[in-house]
Amino acid sequence: MTPDALPPAERVKISFEPDGGQPREVRVPAGVTLFDAASWNGIAVDSTCGGHGTCRKCRVRVVDGEVPVSRLDPRAFGLDELRLGWRLACMAPVRGDVRVEVPPLVTRPKAATVGVGRQVILRPAVQKRYVELTEATLADQRTDLERLLAALDDLEVRADLRALRNLPGALRQSDFRVTAVVVDDVLVDVEPGDTSARRFGIAFDLGTTTVAATLLDLATGTPAAVTSMLNPQQPFGGDVITRISATMLDPDALGRLTALAHSCLDQLASEVCTAGAVEPHEVYEIALAGNATMTHIALGIDPEPLGVAPFVMTSRSFDGLLAADLGVTVNPGARAYLFPALGAYVGGDIVAGALASGMDRDKRIRLFVDVGTNCEIVLADGDRILATAAPAGPAFEGAQIRCGMRAAPGAIEGVKISDDDVALQVIGDVGPVGLCGSGLVDAVAALVQVGLLDASGRLMAADVAAVTAPGLAGRLRQVGEERVFVLHERGDDPADAVYISQRDVRELQFAKAAIATGWRLLAAEMGIDPADVQQVLLAGSFGSYLSPASAVRIGLVPGVSVLRIVSAGNVAGEGAKMALLSVRERAAAHALLEEVRYVELSDRPDFNDRFIDQLAFPS
Amino acid sequence: MTPDALPPAERVKISFEPDGGQPREVRVPAGVTLFDAASWNGIAVDSTCGGHGTCRKCRVRVVDGEVPVSRLDPRAFGLDELRLGWRLACMAPVRGDVRVEVPPLVTRPKAATVGVGRQVILRPAVQKRYVELTEATLADQRTDLERLLAALDDLEVRADLRALRNLPGALRQSDFRVTAVVVDDVLVDVEPGDTSARRFGIAFDLGTTTVAATLLDLATGTPAAVTSMLNPQQPFGGDVITRISATMLDPDALGRLTALAHSCLDQLASEVCTAGAVEPHEVYEIALAGNATMTHIALGIDPEPLGVAPFVMTSRSFDGLLAADLGVTVNPGARAYLFPALGAYVGGDIVAGALASGMDRDKRIRLFVDVGTNCEIVLADGDRILATAAPAGPAFEGAQIRCGMRAAPGAIEGVKISDDDVALQVIGDVGPVGLCGSGLVDAVAALVQVGLLDASGRLMAADVAAVTAPGLAGRLRQVGEERVFVLHERGDDPADAVYISQRDVRELQFAKAAIATGWRLLAAEMGIDPADVQQVLLAGSFGSYLSPASAVRIGLVPGVSVLRIVSAGNVAGEGAKMALLSVRERAAAHALLEEVRYVELSDRPDFNDRFIDQLAFPS
């Protein structure tokens, strides 16, 4: 902690200590429940009720830090237990740093809780069947496959060549006692002996910036490992448009981008398998949620038509794929499920996110905003679902911001400005070295509040600032040609300071105006006032970490009570997990394609006027 | 020609001179029609009637050599034309060397004649559709695939990833005018512009000894090129059992055998494409007929259970394969059709052969014998179809025969022995250097006839021979420990001569006894006398070249009139062609699986007794 850092206010640190497992430290927005924090980070906590406090299975013990007793805790615990720190994880919002013991799983649930409190009944596409067959004789020369299929007579399956390659050996290694692995209607593998307890899948969130993977135990619905990495396609451009441009300029670029996507997915698969102590051949299916550009590139399909009007996809959905088609070397017969896309800029990631957020089954007026380089927006009222995409640009990723950086150690992720002081929240136990997206939003919101930024986004002149905010005026400086506000001094050279520049403010204004125009147009289309929105879901690896108050203050989201603004976590990744756990949820995702109406912004005559209106900060 | 060679007697040389094409010289058994000879060798001759002389399209001109005028020729030609050598190819059996001009194809037939006079209505699985689509606009953002499928609304297809990779580029290169390539129910490619006239397939006969490929124009049913090569798996053993053994002894052998099969098929594909002036990407499907062992190995499936009792296949049929699964690099989306198998030793090659021979639709009692290392036998009477397999061993391939060699230049392929002379027919314009299978059968038959071999297969003692065949007795010699009959002297050393040894005779006896036991058991099973057989089809790359008279004389086939013994050509390859040309024929092949009853010989208590009975030559 640096001298001018405050105790954590809006992000909290949770140290999970699973019984018999490695402790894990995670950071989540304050207010997230212990259960969600564990779930998002791949730490298994018992639950069968979907996070409503009724199954009383999500028992954890808070051993350090404060978590208030909820109204449902006394039904689950005795007084002594409550004193020892026992809480129901799904009822326990975290407001400060805590250390939590997680008991071992006691149930083998028929359901898992994922997404935004979504309870998913386990019905994975991956099934295993242990069978004991009679050996072949001269009087019974049925083929190996006929023999096996006769024992699976309730399933209508066709055999994959890769399964057939293993079939004769598996049968004869194990006295004709084998486990058949079926994904949907395909026999993908045959294993000697009874391996029916071991079946895994990997859920991928293939983001433009970050790629995340969760290894799921498909028998229990619990995550076995989680990992993520920066998308290695970054050298080709930070956003989808620059990557599409790269493929248009260089005929080899598509091949190289595809290869990078494959090696990235494969490395993550390898990492989660190692971390979860799972053999790669025990992974029989992967599910992937990504935007249309990332998906097309990963499949080796030219993304150019996505990047130029009229913005056309090659296909909405891609069926019959193998994990190997995405470069993922798990079981050779493993299948791949890809989320279908709504449009060139409302891709499978948003369909997955809308599914995980239950946009199709809530009666309230809800606004879903996945904040990123390309910002996807969904508005639903229990009856209609509208979606659009807004090109926010890379400001939120910290790119094109003078002192911008990713949310890594040394990044300022939170900023509070009082009359005469600036308090910074910094990631990791180091001094501030830059500003990540959530810090930028906080800083701009705070500067507006203290009057150092006017509604049009102009930093005050020094003489004005000396009057309105004398304790802060000294932080307004000149760096090169630019006016800046210094957040943190480093040495004597002002250019070494961490600051926010006039141009940075403009970048953010541009980004938030694009987003605000998007949801305002959707609201107009639906005939509602933005103030009527009953819940705002901030999603995406970045959006979930935004301060709701700051988001309201700069006009990124409608001006509703901050209590109605919810961090939804990485909902695209949650959707991918749901698809692995339940074929019914996949059907729901495909139904969304019919239910959602995509509103194209780029050809709206009123777009530019509305966009300019939204550049200013709310007064 | 060597001094003691006779003019061609039982094999004839035909020089085909296609209009505008390269002349081709082929060798076929005497009695084969010009049409069949052309068809087996990939030379396109018009025909729509199935070789019955009624369509009068198969007009060719014999410019050298004699071909008698058939009873149907005067209906097709004027007297002048007949004098100039014009004949209907399907009515023209060839009895001596001829040179024949083949006119260009004038019809684009709806049917092609393949197999044993089988007329196949063209209905290939490969279809092409040229479509002109409207370009996408902001008001019509349908995906490329939706746009294309809407124009193919009479077809129910799913898109292969490889087709999707080409789709956006093909549409935009050609103003949205493209040709869709569909195989069965899969969209396998999309090509810019109208390419609907160009669609090709390759039919493979994957034999243990020889692998053959025919490139077929699927739009017309005509062959565009034919080639063959020795199976490069030979170093692992000459027959299926030794190759299976190799995989049991060496864990790497299967991988190497699979790779050899792939490279062989791929090389043949490349050769026929070059010869036929066809781009590999214009080949959208391959069809393959092979025995179960060759098929399993080519697919990378452990063949061990095929090689040991109870002789079990992994699967009868293999569906949903790509040409790439067999190592064939043609169009990346090209599919592969494999003939299903009846049993471990009555494989897809026999099903293909039975299809091409019409075993399922002839009312006569017919016996089909595919002579080879493993000999497959089918007996049908218009009502029932029985099949079995006989392990004949490698004698017919020239292996394990002292002076044995393959049917290559220098091989003695025909032998006639009179009282005091030996006349040899030798392949190519060189002196005799060895003996191929048909020569061995001829030689043994002739030695039996002149009394130098007794019915039990023993070469006469020198003193007996001096009395019974004084003009030949000098050819009975001793080479090392063995008694031999010299066919051709080379230099002074008797070991350099081309001869047939006592052990060679034993090898042949063993082979023919296995085969004869097979068809005798099938006849017994069907309740008929072998003499009742109305037609014997000698098939396979080797069987077709056997002299029918010699085959009868040694007891390889029932003792029926030689006129009833027909060379059927490479019927497995013909079956593969039929599968490419018609999905209905594929359905017929699968129906055969139900109709044919496989009779397992190896567990018959009477097999050994019958086998020993058959070792002797008929007296």
Q: B309: which 2 tokens?
A: 């009792």
Shortest Cα distance from B138 to chain A (angstroms)?
Answer: 5
Q: A177: which 2 tokens?
A: 């006692």
The Cα A273–Cα A224 span in angstroms is 8
Q: Do A141 and B172 touch (CB under 8 A)?
A: no
What average pLDDT does chain A have?
90
**Does B211 map to a domain?**
no
**Does B468 map to a domain?**
yes
Shortest Cα distance from B186 to chain A (angstroms)?
Answer: 11
Whether the per-residue pLDDT at A4 is higher than 50: the answer is no
Q: B342: which 2 tokens?
A: 């009846």
How high is the pLDDT of residue A567? Answer: 84
Whether the per-residue pLDDT at B493 is higher than 50: the answer is yes
Domain CATH number, residue B535: 3.30.420.40
Whether the per-residue pLDDT at A8 is higher than 50: the answer is no
Q: Do B138 and A602 touch (CB under 8 A)?
A: yes
What average pLDDT does chain B have?
90
Please check whether residues A374 and A514 belong to one and the same domain: yes
Structure confidence by residue, pLDDT tens digits, A261-313: 999 999 999 999 999 999 999 999 999 999 999 999 999 999 999 999 899 99
Shortest Cα distance from B557 to chain A (angstroms)?
Answer: 28
Torsion of CA A351, A356, A362, A368, to 10 degrees: -60
Q: Do B312 and A142 touch (CB under 8 A)?
A: yes
How high is the pLDDT of residue B377? Answer: 92
DSSP per-residue string spanning A35-55? HHHHHHTT-----SSSSSS-S
**Does B61 map to a domain?**
yes
A152-155 contact pairs (CB < 8 A, 24+): A152/A180, A152/A182, A155/A127, A155/A129, A155/A182, A155/A185
**Does A120 map to a domain?**
no
pTM for the whole structure = 0.83
Burial environment of residue B182 by CB neighbours within 10 A (0 to 12, 13 to 18, 19 or more): buried
CB B524 within 8 A of CB B558: no
Please check whether residues B239 and B321 belong to one and the same domain: yes
Closest to B323 in 3D by CA, of B332, B314, B312: B332
Structure confidence by residue, pLDDT tens digits, B374-418: 788 999 998 899 999 888 877 777 778 889 888 888 999 999 999
AA letter at B515: I
Query: Please, which pLDDT band fits residue A203 given cuts at 50, 70 and 90?
Result: very high
CB A369 within 8 A of CB A375: yes
Q: Do A343 and B310 touch (CB under 8 A)?
A: no
Please check whether residues A336 and A368 belong to one and the same domain: no
CB A331 within 8 A of CB A269: no
Closest to B43 in 3D by CA, of B18, B14, B60: B18
Cα–Cα–Cα angle for B487, B491, B494, nearest 5°? Answer: 55
**Does B1 map to a domain?**
no
CB A190 within 8 A of CB A172: no
For B506, residues 6+ apart whose C-beta sits below 8 A from its C-beta are: B457
Domain CATH number, residue B71: 3.10.20.30
Please check whether residues A563 and A433 belong to one and the same domain: no
Interface probe, candidates B133, B135, B143, chain A, greatest A C-beta count within 10 A: B143
Please check whether residues A176 and A211 belong to one and the same domain: no
For B59, residues 6+ apart whose C-beta sits below 8 A from its C-beta are: B46, B76, B77, B86, B87, B88, B89, B103
Q: Do B168 and A304 touch (CB under 8 A)?
A: yes
Contacts of A169 in chain B (CB under 8 A): 302
Whether the per-residue pLDDT at A557 is higher than 70: the answer is yes
Q: B33: which 2 tokens?
A: 């029609």
Q: CB B305: neighbour CB atoms within 10 A?
A: 24
Q: A593: which 2 tokens?
A: 């394609």
- For tokens 């129906």, the residue is B591
The Cα A209–Cα A398 span in angstroms is 11
Q: Do A141 and B315 touch (CB under 8 A)?
A: no
Residue of B nearest to A325 (CA): B161
Q: Which of A188-202, B24-38, B228-242 has the lowest mean pLDDT?
A: B24-38
Please check whether residues B341 and B367 belong to one and the same domain: no
State the total domains in chain B: 5
How high is the pLDDT of residue B545? Answer: 82
Closest to B372 in 3D by CA, of B404, B397, B398, B403: B397
Nearest to A310 among B136, B300, B304 (CB): B136
Residue of A nearest to B305 (CA): A168
Whether the per-residue pLDDT at A315 is higher than 50: the answer is yes
The A-side interface with B (CB below 8 A) comprises 136-146, 158-161, 164-165, 167-169, 172, 299-302, 304-305, 309-316, 318-321, 325, 343-344, 600, 602-603
Residue of A nearest to B186 (CA): A320
The Cα B221–Cα B488 span in angstroms is 45
Q: B391: which 2 tokens?
A: 């392990």
Nearest to B144 among A142, A161, A314 (CB): A314
Shortest Cα distance from A95 to chain B (angstroms)?
Answer: 46
Cα–Cα–Cα angle for A352, A355, A358, nearest 5°? Answer: 150
DSSP per-residue string spanning A272-308? HHHHHT--GGGEEEEEEEE-HHHHHHHTT---HHHHS
- Phi, psi for B309 (deg, rounded to 5): -55, 145
- Sort strands B111-114 and A374-380 into parallel, antiparallel or unpaired: unpaired
- Phi, psi for B383 (deg, rounded to 5): -130, -55
Q: What is the DSSP letter of B530?
A: G
Q: CB B529: neighbour CB atoms within 10 A?
A: 11
The Cα A600–Cα A388 span in angstroms is 6
What length is written for chain B? 619
The Cα B304–Cα B254 span in angstroms is 10
Query: Please, which pLDDT band fits residue A6 given cuts at 50, 70 and 90?
Result: very low
**Does A354 map to a domain?**
no
Q: Do B140 and A167 touch (CB under 8 A)?
A: no
Per-residue 3-state assignment (H helix, E strand, C coil) for A462-512: HHHHHHHCCCCHHHEEEECCEEEEEEECCCCCHHHCEEEEHHHHHHHHHHH
The Cα A29–Cα A10 span in angstroms is 6
- For tokens 């709206």, the residue is A604
Interface probe, candidates B141, B149, B190, B593, chain A, greatest A C-beta count within 10 A: B141
The Cα A351–Cα A295 span in angstroms is 13
Please check whether residues A143 and A257 belong to one and the same domain: no
Q: Do B143 and A312 touch (CB under 8 A)?
A: yes
Calculate the alpha carbon distances from B231 to A28, B259, B261, B322, B391 in Å: 64, 12, 8, 21, 19
Give B369's strand partners: B377, B538
Per-residue 3-state assignment (H helix, E strand, C coil) for A98-149: EEEEECCCCCCCCEEEECCCEEEECECCEEEEEEECCCCECCECCCHHHHHH
In the three-class reduction of DSSP (H, G, I as helix; E, B as strand; rest coil), residue B86 is classed as strand
Q: What is the DSSP letter of B346?
A: B
Please check whether residues A384 and A403 belong to one and the same domain: no
Query: Please, which pLDDT band fits residue A541 given cuts at 50, 70 and 90?
Result: low
The B-side interface with A (CB below 8 A) comprises 136-138, 140-146, 158-161, 164-165, 167-169, 172, 299-302, 304-305, 309-316, 318-321, 325, 343-344, 600, 602-603
Calculate the alpha carbon distances from A477 to A481, A482, B221, B248 in Å: 10, 8, 83, 80
Query: pLDDT above 70 covers what percent of chain B?
Result: 97
AA letter at B52: H
Domain CATH number, residue A245: 3.30.420.480
Q: A98: which 2 tokens?
A: 């805590």
Q: Which of B77, B106, B135 is the last residue of a domain?
A: B106
Predicted complex: ipTM over 0.90: no
How high is the pLDDT of residue A429? Answer: 85
How high is the pLDDT of residue A556? Answer: 94
Residue of A nearest to B170 (CA): A302
Q: B284: which 2 tokens?
A: 């959208």
Shortest Cα distance from A54 to chain B (angstroms)?
Answer: 45
Give A539's strand partners: A370, A569
AA letter at B143: T
How high is the pLDDT of residue A376? Answer: 87
Contacts of B161 in chain A (CB under 8 A): 299-300, 318, 320-321, 325
Shortest Cα distance from B515 to chain A (angstroms)?
Answer: 21
In the three-class reduction of DSSP (H, G, I as helix; E, B as strand; rest coil), residue B330 is classed as coil
CB A487 within 8 A of CB A417: no
Cα A166 to the center of its chain, rounded Å:
37
Shortest Cα distance from B341 to chain A (angstroms)?
Answer: 10
Q: Do B161 and A318 touch (CB under 8 A)?
A: yes
Query: Please, which pLDDT band fits residue B3 given cuts at 50, 70 and 90?
Result: very low
Domain span at residue A466? Answer: 396-503
Whether the per-residue pLDDT at A3 is higher than 60: the answer is no
Query: Please, which pLDDT band fits residue A472 given cuts at 50, 70 and 90?
Result: very high
Please check whether residues A448 and A367 belong to one and the same domain: no
Burial environment of residue A429 by CB neighbours within 10 A (0 to 12, 13 to 18, 19 or more): exposed
**Does A96 map to a domain?**
yes
CB A539 within 8 A of CB A357: yes
Please check whether residues A462 and A499 belong to one and the same domain: yes
Nearest to B138 among A142, A309, A325 (CB): A309
Q: A50: which 2 tokens?
A: 């979907």
Residue of A nearest to B325 (CA): A161
Q: A391: which 2 tokens?
A: 């090109």
Query: Please, which pLDDT band fits residue A606 given cuts at 50, 70 and 90?
Result: confident
The Cα B137–Cα A91 span in angstroms is 50
How high is the pLDDT of residue B9? Answer: 45
Alpha helices in B277-310 (DSSP H): 292-298, 304-307
CB B39 within 8 A of CB B97: no
Please check whether residues B451 and B583 belong to one and the same domain: no
AA letter at A547: S
Shortest Cα distance from B320 to chain A (angstroms)?
Answer: 8
Q: What is the mean predicted confidence (pLDDT) over A71-83?
A: 90
Q: Which of B452, B471, B500 is the last residue of a domain?
A: B500
CB B499 within 8 A of CB B477: yes
Nearest to A144 among B158, B315, B319 (CB): B315
Contacts of A139 in chain B (CB under 8 A): 603
Q: What is the mean predicted confidence (pLDDT) over A337-359?
A: 92
Residue with the bigger pLDDT between A395 and A315: it is: A315
Query: Please, which pLDDT band fits residue B297 given cuts at 50, 70 and 90?
Result: very high
Calculate the alpha carbon distances from A429 to A227, A257, A425 in Å: 22, 35, 10
Closest to A370 in 3D by CA, of A105, A571, A601, A600: A571
Q: Which of A503, A532, A564 is the last residue of a domain?
A: A503
Whether the per-residue pLDDT at B2 is higher than 60: the answer is no
The Cα B334–Cα B189 span in angstroms is 9
**Does B201 map to a domain?**
no
In the three-class reduction of DSSP (H, G, I as helix; E, B as strand; rest coil), residue A583 is classed as helix
Structure confidence by residue, pLDDT tens digits, A99-150: 999 988 766 667 777 777 778 888 899 999 999 999 999 889 999 999 999 9
Nearest to A164 among B138, B165, B314 (CB): B314
Residue of B nearest to A320 (CA): B160
Whether the per-residue pLDDT at A361 is higher than 70: the answer is yes
Whether the per-residue pLDDT at A9 is higher than 60: the answer is no
How high is the pLDDT of residue B7? Answer: 39
For A419, residues 6+ apart whose C-beta sits below 8 A from its C-beta are: A450, A469, A471, A472
Q: Which of A89-93, A262-266, B125-129 has the lowest mean pLDDT?
A: A89-93
Please check whether residues B100 and B137 belong to one and the same domain: no
